[in-house]
Amino acid sequence: MKSLVSGLVVSLFLALPAAADELRGTGDLGIVVERASGSVQVLDTTHRTALCRVEGLGDLSHASAVYSRDERYAYVFGRDGGLTKVDILTCSIAKRIVQGGNAIGGAISDDGTLVAVSNYEPGGVKVFDAETLDLVADIPATFGKANAPSKTVGLVDAPGRRFVFSLWDGGETWIADFSGGSEPKITKIPDVGINPYDGLVTGDGRHYITGLFGEDGLTHIDLWADAPKGERILDHYGKGEEKLPVYKMPHLEGWALAGDRFFLPAVGHHQVLAVDARSFEEIGRVDVKGQPVFAVARPDGRQVWVNFALPDNAFVQIIDVPSMQIVHELNPGPAVLHMEFAPRGHEVWVSVRDADKIDIYDTRTFEKKGEIPAMKPSGIFFTARAHETGL
């Protein structure tokens, strides 16, 4: 009997290394959206490689993703209203639903229990259980005396199990507070401006900013206030200047907070605006190559990387924050769509849609460190986002 037990112990011990080889952490993983094929690739950022492809995610022409708190699951929001829970460890779809007709992004609550989706069609916001994807709440976004329906945009998570979003048609911003359970308390902030088209929240969860398609300027809301209200900032920043045609609207999620300054793409101008993060007043401008789309800060705030709309979308320019000067320009190839920094900022991964690749650059030397084939890549999302507000 003793020898049998000893033999089993030895066998189990010898088996441990093989089992350990199958284990994988999630902290250095991510996904890239392959927009034309309805698929995502799972990325290993340490070894600069793709691990697998997950297909069957529907229309990903304007897709984004958030992560579960344990970093195992990516929730991918498709333009066709699809919400797909992807297991990035098993490279499989854990669950998929079609919750609307035309969706424009989503968010996950700070406790990781709720996933919210913003809809153009039928409008409003739907909120789901993160584990099961069962519907928790359906929030119709209506406005005015006629209770007209509105598209919703700029959906972000905020501390305290809250979601914040804006009404494109209604010119309002709403706060949906789920801290009391599955029935949200709704706070409506009226008159934020004409056609808010996107929104962001700062990493501390305090400041919500929405861009306005129908007028120059932006609207700021202090979410810490007892009675939040909309305050206009950068009003008429382009007044007196001739605007250029806008080929692609900047994404507010790509605005950079670098130290005590915001860097914002100027709509209709070849400029990036620098804004004091306390007073929200403009403190300078940086002339850039084209119409900026994303201005993304390196995690330490020392650099801001900028990409552009047509006809300059093959280029990336790097702004040195202290000097407010362009210090380098890259030409990765046609249709640079997205940039994602490694969590500590030593590398940046760049999707180059029309070259079917992801380029990887050292952010200190600007040397190209690697390249990964991908089918029409767009958004790149690393699992470090699981622990950041608003991402």
Q: How do residues 351-361 score in pLDDT, each as one tens digit?
A: 999 999 999 99
**Dist. CA 250–CA 240, nearest whole Å:** 21
Q: Are 285 and 275 in contact (CB under 8 A)?
A: no
- Greater confidence (241 vs 94) lies with 94
pLDDT confidence bin for 7, thresholds 50/70/90? very low
Mean pLDDT, the chain, as a whole number? 90
Helix, strand or coil, per DSSP, at residue 11: helix
What residue type is 326 in one-letter code? I
Q: What is the mean pLDDT of residues 165-186?
A: 97
pLDDT at 183 over 60: yes
pLDDT at 2 over 60: no
Nearest to 110 by CA among 138, 147, 167, 69: 69
pLDDT at 13 over 70: no
pLDDT confidence bin for 120, thresholds 50/70/90? very high
Q: What is the mean pLDDT of residues 90-100?
A: 97
Residues of the chain with pLDDT > 90, as a percent, come to 80
CB atoms within 10 A of CB 59: 16
User: How is residue 250 annotated by DSSP?
Assistant: P
**Dist. CA 124–CA 151, nearest whole Å:** 6
pTM to 2 decimal places: 0.91
Q: How do residues 39-70 score in pLDDT, each as one tens digit?
A: 999 999 999 999 999 999 999 998 999 999 99
Q: Are 174 and 189 in contact (CB under 8 A)?
A: yes
Q: How do residues 221-265 score in pLDDT, each as one tens digit?
A: 999 999 999 999 988 665 444 554 554 555 666 678 888 899 988
Beta strands in 234-356 (DSSP E): 256-258, 261-265, 271-276, 282-287, 292-297, 303-308, 316-320, 325-330, 336-341, 347-352
Task: Give phi and psi for 223, each to the nearest 5.
Answer: -75, -10
Task: Give phi and psi for 334, each to the nearest 5.
Answer: -70, 135
Residue 222, CA atoms < 13 Å, CB-side half-sphere: 10
